[in-house]
């Protein structure tokens, strides 16, 4: 019995030893800890303990594959060394107090499927390097202070299903490449400063379920091609400067009934065509 117990303890200790991650990955985690005020986190790391015991760190085959430190009182800036966690599939830093730019180096995390940096105080532009994350399924950067244009090459993220960038200070037009994301299900760009029109190429997003452009400065006619999106369940285009007529079907999808702002800044409802099965575009 004693020999069996001893053998079990030896095997257990061996597993702990072999569960060690690479020194470079451990250094990246320690850098993140110090750069984001680890001593003030809600759940702290004991740097003397094995990494497998560190809160929010998931290790698989001796590699860090997920890091979830959401709502953990992280402050300061995201260090560029985080890109040394090259096996990350999920990075979730939602609802903290992070500031500064989003590091360009995140584009090196080629296996990343989920990137959530929402509900922080990040500023600057969205790094173009994020467009290199071809495995990305979910990109959530909402409720920050991000500015500048949307990256022109967003269309490279062909596996993307969720893009949530609302409540920032983003400007410019929706890049043409965005309409190439045929697998996109959720597109949330509301409460920014976007301009320009909504392209009829939106019909390419055949799996789109939720479309929100609410509270921007977009204009032009609402494309009738929206009616071809059979999976669309919720839409909010209100409080822009769109004009013309819309079909009753589209008007019913909009949770604020297609209420727009005119040249004087007054709220006005778009005219609805009485025929549910067609849409008329205004010549005005």
For the chain, the three-class secondary structure string (H helix, E strand, C coil) is: CHHHHHHHHHHHHHHHHHCCCCHHHHHHHHHHHHHCCHHHCCCCCCCCCCHHHCCCEEEECCEEEEEECCCCCCEEECCHHHHHCCCCCEEECCCCEEEECCCHHHHHCCCCCEEECCCCEEEECCCHHHHHCCCCCEEECCCCEEEEECCCCHHHCCCCCEEECCCCEEEECCCHHHHHCCCCCEEECCCCEECCCCCHHHHHCCCCCEEECCCCCCEEECCHHHHHCCCCCEEECCCCEEECEEEHHHHHHECCCCEEECCCCCEEECEEECCCCCCCCCCC
Asked if residue 284 has pLDDT above 50, the reply is no
Please tell me the distance from the alpha carbon of residue 32 to that of residue 36, in angstroms, as a whole number: 6
Please tell me the distance from the alpha carbon of residue 119 to that of residue 44, in angstroms, as a whole number: 21
With bands split at pLDDT 50, 70 and 90, how would you rate the model's confidence at 277? very low
Q: What is the pLDDT of residue 268?
A: 87
For the CA atoms of the chain, what is the radius of gyration?
23
Q: What is the pLDDT of residue 36?
A: 98
Asked if residue 266 has pLDDT above 90, the reply is no
Between residues 266 and 62, the one the model is more confident about: 62
Asked if residue 283 has pLDDT above 50, the reply is no
- Tell me: the pLDDT tens digits for 16-68? 444 589 999 999 999 999 999 999 999 999 999 999 999 999 999 999 999 99
Give the mean model confidence (pLDDT) for residues 175-201: 98
With bands split at pLDDT 50, 70 and 90, how would you rate the model's confidence at 249? confident
Burial (CB count <10 Å: 0-12, 13-18, 19+), residue 253: buried
- Phi/psi of residue 128, nearest 5 degrees: -65, -25
Asked if residue 131 has pLDDT above 80, the reply is yes
Please tell me the distance from the alpha carbon of residue 22 to that of residue 55, in angstroms, as a whole number: 18
Contact between 145 and 120 under an 8 Å Cβ cutoff? The reply is no
* Structure tokens that stand for 205 in this block: 């997003």
pTM: 0.89
Contact between 65 and 89 under an 8 Å Cβ cutoff? The reply is yes
Asked if residue 12 has pLDDT above 60, the reply is no
Beta partners for 121? 99
Mean predicted lDDT score pLDDT of the chain? 90
Q: What is the pLDDT of residue 188?
A: 98
Please tell me the distance from the alpha carbon of residue 165 to that of residue 139, in angstroms, as a whole number: 8
Asked if residue 7 has pLDDT above 80, the reply is no
> Max alpha carbon distance in the chain (Å)?
90
Q: What is the pLDDT of residue 252?
A: 87
């Amino acid at each position: 019995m004693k020999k069996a117990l001893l053998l079990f303890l030896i095997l257990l200790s061996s597993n702990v030893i072999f569960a060690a991650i690479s020194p470079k990955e451990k250094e990246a985690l320690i850098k993140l800890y110090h750069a984001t005020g680890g001593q003030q986190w809600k759940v702290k790391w004991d740097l003397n303990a094995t990494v497998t015991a560190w809160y929010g760190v998931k290790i698989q085959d001796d590699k860090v594959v997920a890091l979830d430190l959401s709502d953990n009182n992280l402050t300061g800036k995201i260090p560029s060394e985080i890109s040394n966690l090259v096996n990350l599939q999920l990075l979730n830093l939602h609802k903290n107090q992070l500031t500064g730019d989003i590091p360009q180096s995140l584009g090196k995390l080629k296996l990343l499927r989920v990137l959530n940096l929402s509900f922080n105080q990040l500023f600057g532009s969205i790094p173009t390097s994020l467009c290199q994350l071809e495995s990305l399924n979910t990109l959530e950067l909402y409720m920050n202070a991000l500015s500048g244009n949307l990256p022109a090459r967003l269309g490279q993220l062909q596996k993307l299903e969720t893009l949530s960038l609302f409540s920032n200070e983003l400007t410019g037009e929706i890049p043409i490449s965005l309409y190439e994301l045929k697998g996109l299900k959720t597109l949330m760009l509301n409460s920014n400063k976007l301009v320009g029109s909504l392209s009829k190429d939106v019909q390419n997003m055949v799996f789109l379920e939720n479309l929100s452009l609410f509270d921007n400065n977009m204009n032009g006619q609402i494309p009738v091609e929206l009616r071809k999106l059979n999976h669309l369940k919720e839409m909010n285009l209100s409080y822009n400067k769109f004009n013309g007529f819309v079909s009753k079907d589209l008007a019913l999808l909009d949770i604020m009934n297609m209420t727009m702002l005119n040249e004087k800044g007054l709220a006005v409802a778009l005219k609805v065509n009485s025929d549910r099965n067609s849409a008329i575009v205004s010549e005005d």
